[in-house]
Amino acid sequence: MTQRFDTPPRPTARVATFTAFGLASEAEPLAPGLHVVATPIGNLRDVTIRALATLAAADAVLAEDTRVTRTLLMHYGITTPLLAYHEHSNAAVRERMVARMLAGEALALVSDAGTPLVSDPGFKLVQAAIQAGIAVTPIPGPSAVMTAVVAAGLPTDRFFFEGFLPQKAGARRNRLSALGSVPGTLVLFESPHRLPEMLTDAAEVLGPERPAAVTRELTKFFETIRRGTLGSLSAEFAAEGAPRGEIVVVIGAAPETERTEEQDAGLDAALRAALARHSIKDAASLVSDETGQPRRLVYARALALTRQDDGAA
């Protein structure tokens, strides 16, 4: 679907202004469409000038919680009308927003904090806008995920954002088990009252020696970053009880272990037996389940064995 970028900004009836650094500034008119605006995750000074100008010039700001966003707008002297858009907003609401944008309006989408669409319902509106051929413009800025990753002190070359784990212990442990072989740093959101239980489960499922960090109230006055292992952090929070505030947990990747020749021979034997009866994909899945080896590793070995056997033939 091609976005409509050729529609010029249209004049607005009101004068769009915002106040920053004690000075009032006039915002330039916006092109019609959906403007996805990142907002501070705690410290109101972390907002960008472009974000302020966009919020000021938009015809309306679509907010997850209008009370939260109103605080930001008032702080910067922005008077743009606020409309609620949250997880309970239905298709009819999205249709009305799309109709407004097709009629030439510029709408700004924000979440309670950080970059919209990350663990919030904004993606459905973005999808609806794209399907209608409406331009979607990202206004980058603060992100709790990126802030936690750079503060944790763990490898940043590869990371996997999981969001919130299941609330029930059994489902949570199953999901942690599935995440155990992800070849990168894990980033999780967690509710404060569930943090001690989650860390206990993570230490048991992923191993107590996995390095981790618990970040709390990032960018706010009471920001804290606790680094250690899953075992040590689990013990600390079990003794202290649930903390307060917004929590992001970062967990290091599983260590790569050296495989022995005996282990490799056993894996090859299991794969050859499975490949005699199944496709490469199914054989890899079966052997991965039987041996507990990462599916990506088993699949790669199955491919190598198949090519080796084809070459010998």
- Residue 1's pLDDT band, with cuts at 50, 70 and 90, is low
The confidence score (pLDDT) of residue 264 equals 78
pLDDT value of position 66: 95
Q: Residue 31's pLDDT band (boundaries 50, 70, 90)?
A: very high
Model confidence pLDDT, tens digit, residues 257-276: 555 566 678 888 999 999 99
Q: In the prediction, which pLDDT does 288 show?
A: 85
Closest CA to 237 of 299, 246, 228: 228
Return the amino acid letter for 312.
Answer: A
Instruction: Indicate if 152-251 has the same CATH topology as 17-142.
Output: no
Task: Convert the pLDDT of each residue in 45-96 to its tens digit.
Answer: 999 999 999 999 999 999 999 999 999 999 999 999 999 999 888 999 999 9
Write down the residue that tokens 């949250």 correspond to: 86
For residue 50, count CB atoms less than 10 angstroms from its CB and return exposed for 0-12, middle for 13-18, buried for 19 or more: middle
Q: What is the pTM of this model?
A: 0.77
What pLDDT sits at residue 297? 77
Could you read off the pLDDT of 213-259 as tens digits, one per residue?
A: 999 999 999 999 999 999 999 999 999 999 999 999 999 998 765 55
- Evaluate if residue 292 carries a pLDDT over 90: no
pLDDT over threshold 80, residue 210: yes
Q: Would you state the structure tokens that stand for residue 211, as one six-digit string?
A: 């390095």
pLDDT tens digits for range 126-152: 999 999 999 999 999 999 999 999 999
- Name which CATH class applies to 17-142: alpha beta
Residue 300: per-residue pLDDT: 82
Per-residue pLDDT band for 15 (boundaries 50, 70, 90) equals confident
Asked if 292 and 266 touch (Cβ cutoff 8 Å), the reply is no
Running DSSP on this structure, what letter comes out for residue 132? T
Q: Taking the domains of the chain in order of start, what are their residue ranges?
A: 17-142, 152-251, 261-312
Please report where in the chains the tokens 């413009």 appear, as a residue: 137
Average pLDDT value for the chain: 90
pLDDT value at position 25?
94
Task: Give pLDDT, residue 313.
Answer: 56
Q: Which fold has domain 152-251?
A: 3.30.950
Q: How far apart are the first and last CA of the chain?
A: 47
